[in-house]
Structure 1
Amino acid sequence: MQRAADRATLAAFLATALLAGGNAVGVRFSNRELDPLWGAALRFGAASLLLLAVMAVRRLEFPRGRALAGAVLFGVLNFGVTFALAYYALVRIHAGLGQTVLSLVPLATLLLAVAQRLERFRLMAAVGTVFAAAGVAVISRASFEGDVPLPSFLALVGSMLAFAQATVSVRRLPKVHAVTMNAVGMTAAAVLLFAGSLAAGDTWRLPDRAATWWALAYLVVGGSVLTFVLYLFVVHRWDASRASYVFVVIPVVAIVLSAWLDDEPLTSWLLIGTPLILVGVYLGALRKRPAPSLPRPAPRP
C-alpha cells in the first residue's frame, strides 16, 4: 500500500514538472500581446472559475475560518505575488534564465522551513540543490548572454522567495482539499491581480493572435489547474523542501520548449547540465532516507 502511494506521489511530481515546464514559455507568448498583470489576471481568473466549477460538481465543502484564511494566504503568495513578479520579469528575460533563478526554490524552501522549525537542516538537501542549480545554470548558459535588467532580475528573486514561502506555509495551514485550496487561492490572487492591473493602467482587452489564445488556454488548464492541484498533492505527502525539487526539473522542459517555440538558443550544454540536475534531484528529493533510530529503552530499576 505504501509503495503504491509512493509511486503515485512520484508520478504526480513528474507530471507537475512536465506541465509546469510550459508555463514560462506561455507567459512569454502572453506578454507579447497582453500587459503582464492583465495577462496574469486573465489566466488565474479563468482558472479559478474552472476550479470552482469542479468544486461544485464534486460537492467539495467550502473552507471556513482558519482554513479559509489559510487558503487565501496561500493564493496571495503562490499566485498573486509570485506571478505578478514573474510576469513582469519575463517581459525582458528569456524563460531559461527565469527557470534558472527559480531552481533555487528548494534551497530557499529548506532554509525557510528550518527557520520556522518545520524541518531539520539536511545536508543532502543542500548539496542536491547546489548540484541542481549548477546544472540549470549550465543548460541556461546562453540565457545569460546580453544585458539582464536589474529590476527584472530582482523581480525573479522575489518570485522565487514567494514560491518557497507559499510551499512552507502549506505545511502550517489546516489541510484543505487540493482543488479547494487552489480554487480559493486563485480567486484571491485573481482579485489582487485585477486590482494591480487596473492600478498599473493596463489595457484590458482580449488577444487578437491565435498564438496568444493557445498560450492562455495552456496556462489556464495545464499550467494552472492541473499543475497546482498535482503540486499540492505532492506537498501534502512529502516535506516542503523535498516537494520543491520540482523547480529544478522544470527548467529542462522549459528550455527545450523555449528553444522549440521561442527561438531560445539551445546548445550541447543541455547534455552536460541535465545529469547534474538529475543527481541533485536524487540527492535532495528521491534518495531514500535512513529511518530514524529508536531511543533505547530505559534500564529497569
Structure 2
Amino acid sequence: MTLFLYILTVAIWGTTWLAIYFQLGDVDIVVSIFYRFALATLILIPLVVIIGKARLGSRQDQFYFVAQGGCLFSLNFICFYYATQFIPSGLVSVIFCLATLYNAVNSRLFFGTRVERYVWLASLFGISGLALLMSPQIHLDDSWINTLTGVGIAALGTLFFSFGNMISVRHGKVGIKPLQSNMWAMLYGTLILLAICVISGATFRLATNAEYLWSLFYLALFGSVIGFTAYLSLVIRVGPGTAAYTTVLFPVVALSLSAFFEGYQWTSASSAGLLLILTGNYLMINKGIRIKRAVAA
C-alpha cells in the first residue's frame, strides 16, 4: 500500500505543475485557486460523509484544521501560482524539492526528531544543483530579478507546505484520519481564499476555454482530493521526512512536460543541476531507508 501511495503521489503531483500553468491568464490567480479548492471541497465533503469518516473533532482539532487549511490549501498555492508567472512550472517543482530539507528541520524543531548528517550533505547537493539549474535563467539584465523573485516565492510556498506536513503529523498522533482532516482543512482553506479574494477586490470571472476548465477539474479532483489524501496518508505511515522523498521524481516529470509545453530549454548546466538534485534526494532516500531498517532491527 505504501508503494502504491508513493507512485500515485508522484504521478499526480508531477503533472499538476503543468496544470497550474494552464490556469494562468485572464482569471485572477487567487480566484483560480479559490475555484480549485471550492470544487475540491464540494467533491470531498459528500465523499467523506458517505463513507462515514466525517468527524467534528475537538476545539483544538478545529484550530489545527484552520492552520492546515492556511498552510496546505491556500497560502502555499498562492505562492506556487505567482511563482509560475516568473519562472517555468518545471522549475517551481524543482524548488519544491526543498520540502525534504524543510521537513527534516521542522521535524527536529516541532517533534525533536534528530536531523542526521546525511541530510545536510544531501541538502548541499540540492542547493548546488538548484544554483546550476537556475543559472541559464539568470541574465545580466532585469530578467534575473524576475527569476530570483520566482525562486523566493516558490521557496516560501514550500515552507508553508512543510508546516502543513507538521500539522498532519500531529493529526496522525491523535488518531485523525487524512480524509477527515482534509475535509475540514480544505473547507477552511477555501474560506481563507474567499476572504482574500473579497478583501483584495478580485473579480470572480471564470474562463471558458477547454485548457482552463480541464486543468481546473484535474487540479480539484486529482491534484487536491486524491493527491493530498495519498500524500498525507504517506506522511502518517512513514513520517514527513520520508514522505517528502516523493519530490525526487517531481522535477523529472514536471521539467519534461515544461520543455514540451512551455518551451523550457535544457542546457548542460541545467542537466548537471538536475543530476545533483536527484543525487542529493537519492542519498536521502537510501540513507533514510537504511536507518529505518536498522532501528526496526
Instruction: Please indicate the TM-score interval, normalised by the length of the shorter structure.
Output: 0.7 to 0.9
Q: Does 1:110 align with 2:104?
A: yes
Question: How far did residue 274 of structure 1 move?
Answer: 5.0
Deviation at 1:261, TM superposition (A): 2.0
What is the TM-score of this pair, normalised by structure 1? 0.85
1:154-165 equivalences under 5 Å are: 154-165=152-163
* Deviations 1:251-274, CA, capped at 9 Å, x for gaps: 221111111222222346675455
| Residues 182, 229 of structure 1: 8 Å contact kept | yes
Q: What is the aligned partner in structure 1 of residue 183 from structure 2?
A: 183
What are the Cα deviations for residues 98-150 of structure 1, in whole angstroms up to 9, with x where unaligned? Answer: 22322212112211211223311111223233334544554565444543435
Q: Name the larger-Rg structure.
A: 1
TM-score, normalised on structure 2? 0.86
Residue 177 of structure 1 deviates from its aligned partner by 1.7
Separation (CA, whole Å) in 2 of partners of 1:139 and 1:130 = 14
User: Which position in structure 2 is the counterpart of 1:299?
Assistant: none
Give the letter for the 1:156 counterpart. A
Out of 54, 77, 80, the position equivalent to 2:74 is 80
2:41 match: 48
Question: What CA distance in whole angstroms lies between the structure 2 residues aligned with 1:103 and 1:200?
Answer: 31
Do structure 1's residue 125 and structure 2's residue 112 form an aligned pair?
no
2:89 to 95, 112, 115: 95
**Conserved in 2, the CA contact under 8 Å of 1:125 and 1:284?**
yes
CA RMSD of aligned residues (A): 2.4
How many residue pairs were aligned?
287
Give the C-alpha shift of residue 47 in structure 1.
0.7
Pair 260,293 (structure 1): closer, same or farther in 2 beyond 3 Å: closer
Write the letter of the residue equivalent to 2:55: F
Structure 2: runs of 5 or more not aligned = none
Deviations 1:142-162 (A, max 9, x none): 444543435544322221211
Residue 217 of structure 1: how far off its partner (Å): 1.4
2:144 aligned to which of 147, 153, 160: 147
Label 1:227 to 1:141 Cα distance change in 2 as closer, same or farther (>3 A).
Answer: farther
The answer as to whether partners of 2:133 and 2:274 remain within 8 angstroms in 1 is yes
Q: What's the counterpart of residue 171 of structure 1?
A: 169
> Which has the higher mean CA deviation after the structures are superposed, 143-152 or 189-198?
143-152
Aligned to 1:213: 213
Q: Which residue of the partner structure matches residue 6 of structure 2? A: 13
Match of 1:38 among 18, 31, 34: 31
The one-letter amino acid of 1:118's match is: G
Aligned 8 A contact 1:90 1:98 in 2: yes
What does residue 5 of structure 1 align with? none
Once residues 202 and 61 of structure 1 are traced to their aligned partners in structure 2, the CA distance between those partners, rounded to angstroms, is 33
Aligned in 2, Cα 1:130/1:59: closer, same or farther, shift over 3 Å? Answer: same
Aligned to 1:3: none
Amino acid across the alignment from 2:144 = D
CA contact (8 A) 1:140 1:255 kept: no
Using the aligned pairs only, state the percent identity: 25
CA shift at 1:58, angstroms? 0.9
Corresponding residue SS for 2:294: coil
Q: Which one is further off, 61-70 or 127-136? A: 127-136
Taking structure 1 as reference, are residues 254 and 141 closer, same or farther at Cα in structure 2, changes over 3 Å only? farther
